[in-house]
Amino acid sequence: MRLRHASTAAGLLLTIALASCSTTTTSSSTDSKVETTQIFSDAYGKVTDSGYALPAIPIKRVDKQFHRQIVNYETSERRGTIIVDTKKRFLYYILGGGKAVRYGIGVGKQGFAWKGEAYVAWKQEWPTWHPPAEMADRKPEVAKYVEKGMEPGLRNPLGARAMYLFDEKGRDTMFRLHGTPEWNSIGTAASSGCIRLMNQDVIDLYSRVRPGKTARVIVL
């Protein structure tokens, strides 16, 4: 979610417009073939994690298509690949064997764009948030966090987990996959940039991801 001026790399297109990071793009051509085989609507209760008491999410108020679920998903991408469909507001974690875990996501507001490929270089539990200077210009109330950062906690915009995306040359794109306390933003284009998941979902995704160049992230 933190953004500086990232370099444009082959296979990675960044369009930055005074934001922390962002994503808008076309839908997945395979989405029409997706069929749910298991849904985890009961996975959003209270969670105590590293001493933090995450509240239950009123999941009945979230459109059921955005609940975590196992779906049929045919792709040639290898197990462990993450495919993000920002138009449909879905993130797929490829399981192999024609299956994927699908999570509902929130994406960047209109006017921010990123599409291409990256990889999860590293990940962090209960991360510190550093807003970009550009955001502080628009929202003076966050200026104090630019340098010192906002400590981890239930109100931290990065939520319970963050995964940091780097380009193929090993440079930080400043884009993140992260949690959010704002469960009602899932399924919308309302974030300041990066791909956000409900905290209970980002904890699940985090447990599956093994950082490194094999942890590919494809934004369609």
Indicate which residues carry an active-site annotation: 178, 194
CA distance 157 to 150: 9
Q: Which residues, 6+ apart, have CB-to-CB distance to 51 below 8 Å?
A: none
- Which token pair is 119? 């990889």
Which alpha helices (DSSP H) does the chain contain, by range? Answer: 133-138, 145-148, 199-208
Counting Cβ atoms within 10 Å, is residue 168 exposed (0-12), middle (13-18) or buried (19+)?
A: middle
CA distance 142 to 186: 23
C-alpha 167 chain-centroid distance: 16
